[in-house]
């Protein structure tokens, strides 16, 4: 089994109130956060941040759970989750590569990196490699414009990137997975 | 906590300073170039050389020349037992560039007469010498994770004096007379805003620090928060006292984890010393600050959208009036200012309104921090007096385009701003001059573009940004930006006619005048400004299309 599916959250189908029926420990941790915010409805965004950190993405089940806990209509929770770019409603790859497409990075060649990746790795922004290893994403300015073009590899920002360095990284991730598998 | 105790902390901190300071930049740019490992190995090298008594390695904030990071500055000399040379405080230190962890032993070795081949930077070059640090006076000097370090740099003295010796009206009067204008973009007079909130009636009031910094290409606010977080907290506390608020929020974008972390540390440290919380400095003033983390939406920088987001809703702008000053967060009077605006408060209180008003131009006082990026040799942060000519910034301080390229334009003000052509570079940078050129100050992003840049493409790039970031609440912006983007794409692909160009201009007017919030109202700006200065590029693309 490869690390991608291992990292994937367990898909629990049953939504219920206070204590989650699936017995998934992550719901307990989410509960702790909700309690810390004293079930305040205006803490919704903070709680969704925590939920995404725990589950990797916001599956429907989790959204319903949050809605019930905060006594908010699910439409409101769904509305917020879809409004903000950083919330993701679909699972992503085991690794992530975020290319900054802000103005500074753009004029320093971020677009070229994306076009090259499309050619050499056959992957577009917003997609995950077929082996489920790497999700390629874009962001609008990471605030590291002084070292543009900037790319975030699994959370670590690196400056002065080129199509080659990004391509190499993606390949290393895939190679690791083949080795493990 | 009283003044004597505050001064005692400062004294103790200064006394503990060792003769040689080794400062390693731990702000975003350098961190992403591995400066954490550099600092570790500097620490180890000092221990290995047995110099712990004399040499102190400190993690500091941004030293401004971010493109050469990781940066390390060494200041002072090790006292050799025979020759007792005085520590030359005033002389410049030595700046090392692009330092890797392996360089540490040789850098520390120079302190005892060794040689090093590590690339040295020139602290006497124009990039540094034309700067006038007020907002950034502590950046690269103090340790952002230690409150003592900030206190030793005269931090929190301003807050003390305000709470113990001044009335809220005095404070507002000082800020008004200083001429400070908001650094978040529009340049609204800060004193006037504070006075409005102070006058507003409500059982509760709030102050908010706007640290959303959505403009792509801008990183001043990030740098200020990472380098000197206490400075922002002090500014907020003074503001809260002046307007009568007891609760503050800092709305930071989630893309800035280091800034968030340092703010959390700073808030905790200030609370422990009784500088935030209840009965600050044993006065009757209470002030609590909480952090709210954004979730990636440019429009949340707009003040009404930002407040909706703090309330846990979708960040959609509301029509104004009522202004936040009357009815803001949860309907209470709310003061909302930008990070850099707050960072200017403490020095104004300490040094006086007249001092601040003597810097800058007639209508734009003080300094402005710019994030210099793009096709330019020196990328990083610069803080210059308002009114500094663009030419000086781009050519002299920035060092022009690398490899002999030629500057074509500078983009200021982000998606709400415009492109200023090289021919207008003798213009000073202040709110009015930039507006006259069809751009704006914005938050202070300055992106240099060279001759290879296609200006129609740039306009399309910004339109794509606005299209993606439109919250969708009103039709002119939601639909208009999509259509404008479509027209710009058509032009840049050489498939457009003169009718399309006319349509583009007409639609720009519509979107500008009928959109609800600043995002839609300013979305056409990059098109207007490129049409104004680079129309021939549009025409060439259209002509080229006509031939096919
Ligand atoms: C679309 C949009 C985005 C904005 N983004 C920011 C931002 O990222 N940071 C900021 O300080 N102000 C931003 N503003 C301006 C704020 O609404 C507000 O005017 C500012 O925070 C007031 O602070 P100041 O008076 O200190 O400048 C934005 C405005 C608009 C219309
Ligand atoms: S102008 Fe655009 S961003 Fe502003 S409210 Fe309308 S749709 Fe939303
Ligand atoms: S534009 Fe890419 S980091 Fe700012
Ligand atoms: S981030 Fe280190 S110098 Fe700017």
Query: Which atom of ligand 4 is nearest to B381's Cα?
Result: 4
Q: Which residues contact B52 (CB under 8 A, 6 or more apart)?
A: B46
Average pLDDT, chain B: 94
How many Å separate Cα B40 from the centre of its chain? Answer: 28
Closest ligand, as measured to the CA of B223: 4
Judge whether A2 and A132 are in contact, CB under 8 Å. yes
Distance CA B291, CA B293 (A): 6
Q: What is the pLDDT of residue A121?
A: 83
B517 CA from centroid of ligand 2 (Å): 5
- Which range among A10-14, B189-193, B203-207, B269-273 shows the weakest confidence by mean pLDDT? A10-14
Task: Please name the residue that has the structure tokens 């520390």.
Answer: B108
How high is the pLDDT of residue A7?
Answer: 39
pLDDT beyond 60 at A92: yes
Find out whether the beta carbon of B517 lies less than 6 Å from any atom of ligand 1. Answer: yes
**How big is the CA angle at B448 (ends B445 and B454), to the nearest 5 degrees?**
120
Q: Are B292 and A79 an interchain contact pair (Cβ–Cβ within 8 Å)?
A: no
Size of interface A-B (CB pairs under 8 A): 140
B519 CB under 6 A from ligand 2?
Answer: yes
pLDDT tier at A131 (50, 70, 90 boundaries)? confident
**Mean pLDDT, to the nearest integer, of B481-499?**
95
pLDDT at position A11: 41
Q: Taking CB atoms and an 8 Å cutoff, what residues of chain A touch B219?
A: 141, 143-146
| Alpha-helix residue ranges (DSSP H) falling in B358-454 | 390-391, 431-436
The secondary structure of B496-536 as a DSSP string is: --HHHHHHHHHHHHHHHHH-SSHHHHHTTHHHHHHHHHHHH
**Predicted pLDDT of residue B299:** 96
Contacts with B525 from chain A: Cβ below 8 Å: none
For residue B355, name the pLDDT band (cuts at 50, 70, 90). very high
Backbone angles phi, psi at B77, to 5 degrees: -130, 150
Beta-carbon count within 10 A of B256 CB? 25
Residues of chain B with pLDDT > 70, as a percent, come to 97
Substitution target in B215, B301, B373, B408 with the highest count of A β-carbons within 10 Å is B373
- Read off the pLDDT of each residue in B38-56 and give the average, rounded to a whole number: 95
> Which chain B residue's Cα is nearest to A88?
B295
Mutation test of the interface with chain B: which of A41, A42, A98, A146, choosing the one with the most B Cβ atoms within 10 A? Answer: A146
Please choose, from the candidates A45, A157, A47, the residue with its C-alpha nearest in 3D space to the C-alpha of residue B222.
Answer: A157
Q: Are B222 and B55 in contact (CB under 8 A)?
A: no
Hey, of B25, B27, B28, B247, which one would you mutate to test binding to chain A, going by the most A CBs within 10 A of its CB? B28
**Over the stretch B94-138, which tens digit does the pLDDT of each residue have?**
999 999 999 999 999 999 988 999 999 999 999 999 999 999 999
Q: pLDDT tens digits for B186-234? A: 899 999 999 999 999 999 999 999 999 988 889 999 999 999 999 999 9
Q: Is A176's pLDDT higher than 80? A: no
Give chain B positions within 8 Å (CB) of A45.
292-293, 295, 309, 312
Contact residues for A156 (Cβ-Cβ < 8 A; gap 6+): B32
Q: Could you tell me the maximum CA-CA distance found in chain A, to the nearest angstrom? A: 51
- Distance (Å, whole) CA B329 – CA B252: 16
Rounded to the nearest 10 degrees, the angle between the axes of helix B257-272 and helix B229-243 is 60
pLDDT at residue B501 greater than cutoff 60: yes
Residue B247: pLDDT above 80?
yes
- Average pLDDT (B353-366) is 96
pLDDT score for B1: 82
Tell me the CA–centroid distance for residue B292 and ligand 4, in Å.
25
Q: Does A167 touch chain B (CB under 8 A)?
A: no
**pLDDT number for residue A21:** 65
Among A41, A106, A142, the residue with its CB nearest the CB of B461 is A106
Is it true that the peptide bond before A119 is cis, omega within 30 degrees of 0? no
Whole-number pLDDT of residue A10: 41
> What DSSP string describes B87-129?
P-SSS--EEE-S--GGGHHHHHHGGGT----SPEE-TTSHHHH
* Residue B218 distance to chain A (closest CA, Å): 6
Ligand 1 centroid – CA B306 distance (Å): 9
**pLDDT of res. A49:** 95
pLDDT of residue A143: 82
Instruction: Report CB contact under 8 Å: A146, B66.
Output: yes
Interchain CB distance below 8 Å, B67 and A139? no
Which of the four pLDDT bands, split at 50, 70 and 90, describes residue B270? very high
Count of positions (residues) in chain B: 548
pLDDT at position B73: 96
Over residues A50-67, the pLDDT tens digits come to: 999 999 899 999 999 999
Which residues from chain A sit within 8 angstroms of residue B378, using beta carbons? none
pLDDT at A9 over 80: no
pLDDT for residue A4 is more than 80: no
Q: What is the pLDDT of residues B316-326, one digit of tens each?
A: 999 989 999 99
Q: What is the pLDDT of residue B548?
A: 57
Ligand having the closest approach to the CA of B378:
4
Res A87: pLDDT: 94
Q: How far apart are CA B373 and CA B351, in angstroms?
A: 32
Q: What does each C-alpha distance from B494 to B39, B336, B453, B533, B534 come to in angstroms?
A: 52, 45, 17, 20, 16
pLDDT reported for residue B85: 43
pLDDT at B113: 87
Residues B344-366 have a mean pLDDT of 96
Confidence at residue A130, expressed as pLDDT on a 0 to 100 scale: 85
């Amino acid at each position: 089994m490869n690390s991608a599916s291992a990292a994937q959250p367990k898909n629990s189908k049953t939504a219920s109130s206070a204590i989650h029926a699936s017995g998934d420990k992550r719901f307990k941790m989410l509960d702790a956060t909700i309690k810390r915010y004293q079930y305040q409805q205006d803490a919704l965004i903070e709680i969704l941040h925590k939920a995404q950190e725990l589950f990797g993405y916001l599956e429907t089940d989790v959204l319903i759970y949050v809605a019930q806990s905060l006594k908010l209509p699910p439409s409101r929770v769904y509305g917020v989750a879809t409004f903000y770019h950083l919330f993701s409603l679909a699972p992503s790859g085991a690794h992530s590569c975020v290319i900054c497409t802000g103005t500074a990075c753009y004029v320093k060649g971020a677009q070229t990196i994306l076009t090259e990746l499309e050619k050499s790795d056959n992957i577009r922004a917003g997609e995950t490699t077929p082996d489920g290893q790497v999700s390629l994403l874009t962001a609008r300015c990471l605030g590291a414009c002084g070292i543009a073009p900037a790319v975030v590899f699994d959370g670590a920002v690196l400056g002065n990137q080129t199509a080659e360095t990004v391509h190499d990284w993606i390949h290393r991730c895939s190679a690791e997975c083949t080795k493990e598998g | 906590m009283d003044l004597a105790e505050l001064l005692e902390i400062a004294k103790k901190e200064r006394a503990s300073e060792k003769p040689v300071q080794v400062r390693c930049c731990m702000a975003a740019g350098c961190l992403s170039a591995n400066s954490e490992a550099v600092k570790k190995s500097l620490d180890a090298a000092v221990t290995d050389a047995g110099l712990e008594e004399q040499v102190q390695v400190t993690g500091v904030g941004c030293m401004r020349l971010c493109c050469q990071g990781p940066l390390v500055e060494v200041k002072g000399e090790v006292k050799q037992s025979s020759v007792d040379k005085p520590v030359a405080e005033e002389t410049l230190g030595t700046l090392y560039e692009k330092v890797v962890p392996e360089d540490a032993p040789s850098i520390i070795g120079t302190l005892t007469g060794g040689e090093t081949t590590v690339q040295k930077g020139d602290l006497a070059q124009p990039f540094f010498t034309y700067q006038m640090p007020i907002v950034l006076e502590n950046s690269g000097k103090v340790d952002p994770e230690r409150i003592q370090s900030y206190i030793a740099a005269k931090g929190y003295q301003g807050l003390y004096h305000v709470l113990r010796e001044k009335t809220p009206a005095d404070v507002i009067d000082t800020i008004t007379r200083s001429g400070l204008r908001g650094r978040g973009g529009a340049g609204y007079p800060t004193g006037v805003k504070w006075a409005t909130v102070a006058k507003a009636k409500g059982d509760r009031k709030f102050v908010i620090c706007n640290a959303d910094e959505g403009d792509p290409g801008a990183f001043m606010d990030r740098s200020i928060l990472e380098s000197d977080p206490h400075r922002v907290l002090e500014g907020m506390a003074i503001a809260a006292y002046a307007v009568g608020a007891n609760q503050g929020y800092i709305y930071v974008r989630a893309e800035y984890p280091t800034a968030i972390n340092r703010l959390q540390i700073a808030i905790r440290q200030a609370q422990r010393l009784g500088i935030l919380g209840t009965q600050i400095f044993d006065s009757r003033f209470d002030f609590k600050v909480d952090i709210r983390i954004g979730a990636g939406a440019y429009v949340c920088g707009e003040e009404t959208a930002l407040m909706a987001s703090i309330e846990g809703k979708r960040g959609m702008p509301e029509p104004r009036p009522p202004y936040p000053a009357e009815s803001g967060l949860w309907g209470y009077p709310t003061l909302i200012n930008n990070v850099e605006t707050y960072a200017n408060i403490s020095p104004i209180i300490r040094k006086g309104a007249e001092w601040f008003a003597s810097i800058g131009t007639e209508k734009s006082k003080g300094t402005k921090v710019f994030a210099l990026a793009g096709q330019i040799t020196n990328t990083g942060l610069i803080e210059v007096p308002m009114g500094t000519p663009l030419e000086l910034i781009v050519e002299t301080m920035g060092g022009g385009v690398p490899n002999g390229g030629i500057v074509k334009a500078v983009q200021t003000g982000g998606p709400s701003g415009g492109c200023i052509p090289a021919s207008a570079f003798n213009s000073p940078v202040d709110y009015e001059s930039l507006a006259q050129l069809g751009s704006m100050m914005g938050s202070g992003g300055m992106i240099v573009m060279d001759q290879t840049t296609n200006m129609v493409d740039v306009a399309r790039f910004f339109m794509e940004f606005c299209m993606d970031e439109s919250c969708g609440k009103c039709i002119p912006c939601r639909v208009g930006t999509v259509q404008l983007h479509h027209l710009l794409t058509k032009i840049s692909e050489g498939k457009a006619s003169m009718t399309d160009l006319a349509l583009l201009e007409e639609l720009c007017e519509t979107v500008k005048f009928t959109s609800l919030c600043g995002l839609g109202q300013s979305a056409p700006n990059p098109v207007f400004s490129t049409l104004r200065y680079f129309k021939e590029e549009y025409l060439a693309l259209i002509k080229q299309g006509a031939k096919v």
